[in-house]
Amino acid sequence: MVKWSALFRRTLIVMLLAGAGVACGSGDPDARRALDGGEDAGAPDAPGEDASHDGSPDDPDTDTSVDDAGDEVDADADDPDDPEDPEDPEDPETPGAVDCAPLPESGGTIVEVDASMAGQLPQLVRQAQANTTFVLAAGTYELTETLHIRAEGVTLRSAGDDAESVVIDGGYNVNSLVFINASNATLAHLTLRRALHHPIHVTPTGDASENLLGTRIYGVHIVDGAQQFIKINPNGARSAFVDDGLVACSRFELTDAGRPRVDRSGTGCYTGGVDGHAARGWVVRDNHFKDIYCAGEGLAEHAVHFWSASRDTVVERNLIENCARGVGFGLSQSGGDRNYADDPHPEVEGYMGHIDGMIRNNIIVADIDYYDTGIELAQAHGVRVLHNTIYDADAANRFSSIDYRFPNTSAEIRNNLVGRITRRNEAAGEVETNLEGVGAALFEDAFGLDFHLGASATAAIDQGDVVEDAGLDIDGEPHEKGAAPDIGADER
C-alpha cells in the first residue's frame, strides 16, 4: 500500500476536455448571507449557539463584470427562476481509479509564451479564439491585469507539466488572476498566487442564457487568495449557471505571509478554498487544502463549499489539513437561489441549500485552535456522507466532526471515523455504523499525516456496512478487502 501522505506531496496532473459553449463579459455575485442561529433542543450533544456561520456581511448579491481592459466593474442583478432543465451531468457516483496522470497535449491553436511576455498575456488571452492553448514557459509572470477567458475551449498550461515551474503572481494588485466567462476552459500545471480577490473566478456573462459548462482545474497550486481561492457563481440575473466542472489533483495553501492580506469583511476572515453557488455536477477530488484559517481574527470559510441550491456535487479523496472548516453543503436556513425544472425532491417544502451529492473518502485533520467543523450539512437534502476520516487531537474542545442541521436536511451518514457527530434544528439523518471518539492510536502515524489504519485498529477494521457508491478509498482502492468494509477513508 502506498504511504498515503506522499500522495499529496507530488505534483499530480491530468485533464479531460469537454464540449459546449457561451460568450464573453461578466459576474461576481458573492452571495453573502447571515446564517439562522436557531437552536435545537433535541440535540443535547450540540452547543447551544451557532458555532458555524458564513463569516460575511449581510448584503444582497451583486454582479461584477469585466471590461475589455480586464478590470472588474459593478453591475446590478435580479433573481428569476432557472429558465430550463440543465442537461443531466455525467454520473458522479461511479468511481474510477485515481487519475492524476499528466495532461495530454492540447489540440487547437498553440500559442507559446515566456515570462518576458507577461505584460502582453492578458490581451492575448482576452482576444483568444476558441480552442486556443497557451503554453507557458518556466518563469514568474507578474500580472497587472486579469487573464480573462472569453472564448470556449481556451487552455492555460505550463510547458513542462510542472505547476511549480510557472508562477502567475498578482502581487495583490489584480482582483482575479484568471476570470472565466466561457465553457470548457482548462487551467493545468500552474501556480497562481497573491490575488486581491479570487485567484480563479468562474461565472457566465451577465446576458448569458446558456449555462457555462466543463471548467477543468487540474494540477494547479493556488497560494494566498485574499478571498475564496476558486469562486463559482451564476450571473447576476440568474439566467445562466456554472455546471459540470472539475477541480482535481491540486494544492490550496494559505501561508503565514498571506494570512494578513485576507479580506476582513464580515467576521474578519472572508477566504476559503472552493466556493460554489447554485452549481450543479461539480467534482472536487484528490486535492490537498492546507492552513486556510485566520489566527483569531474570524472564522474562515470551508475548504470546499457548495451551497445556494447547488446540486449533485461529489467531494472525494481530498486531504484537508488545518483548515477552519472542511466540507460544507448548504449554509443558510432559507434562500431562493436556483429552481430546477425537474423538481428533484417534490416532497420537500421550502429551501434546500444543497441537493443530493456525495462526500466520501476524505481525510480532514486539524490541530489548530481555529478549527470549527469537519463536514457541515445545512438544509442539505439527499446527501450521502460515507467513509470519511476526521481527526482532531483536541476534539473534545472543538465544535464538531460532522454537523447536520435544519429541517430540510436529510442525510445518510455512514462508515465515518470521527470525533463526534452533532444534530441540530430538527435535521433528519440515517446515521449508522460510524465510529466516534477516535484517537491517534488507530492510525499508522497521525502526526505524520499517515491515516492508514494500524493493525490494532480492530474497532474500525472490517466493521463497516457494505454501501452502494462507496467509491475508492484514499489510495484509490475499493472497500472490499476483508470480511466487511473498514470504517473511515482507508481500506486496510
Residue bearing the bigger pLDDT, 19 or 459: 459
CB 28 within 8 A of CB 233: yes
Domains within the chain, CATH numbers bracketed: 4-453 (2.160.20)
The stretch 85-104 carries a mean pLDDT of 56
Q: What is the pTM of this model?
A: 0.84
Task: Pick the closest to residue 429 from 399, 446, 408, 450 (CA basis).
Answer: 408
User: Which residues, including other chains, have CB under 8 Å from residue 312's CB and lie 6 or more apart?
Assistant: 89, 92, 280, 281, 282, 355, 356, 357
Residue 7's pLDDT is what? 37
Residue 84's pLDDT is what? 40
The stretch 362-388 carries a mean pLDDT of 96
Distance CA 190, CA 196 (A): 18
Of the candidate ranges 116-125, 190-199, 207-216, 394-403, the one whose mean pLDDT is the lowest: 394-403
Residue 378's pLDDT is what? 98
Neighbour count for residue 141 (Cβ, 10 Å):
24
Of the candidate ranges 60-69, 319-328, 374-383, 389-398, the one whose mean pLDDT is the lowest: 60-69
Cα distances from 341 to residues 146, 170, 213, 278, 346, in angstroms, run 35, 40, 18, 14, 11
Distance CA 82, CA 338 (A): 6
Flag whether pLDDT at 438 surpasses 80. yes
Question: Radius of gyration (Cα) for the chain, nearest Å?
Answer: 21
In tens, the pLDDT along 176-231 reads: 999 999 999 999 999 999 999 999 999 999 999 999 999 999 999 999 999 999 99
CB 392 within 8 A of CB 399: no
Residue bearing the bigger pLDDT, 428 or 12: 428
Distance CA 258, CA 262 (A): 7
Residue bearing the bigger pLDDT, 88 or 287: 287
The stretch 470-489 carries a mean pLDDT of 97
Q: Which cell numbers in the block locate residue 61?
A: 448579491
Average pLDDT along the chain: 84
CB 149 within 8 A of CB 179: yes
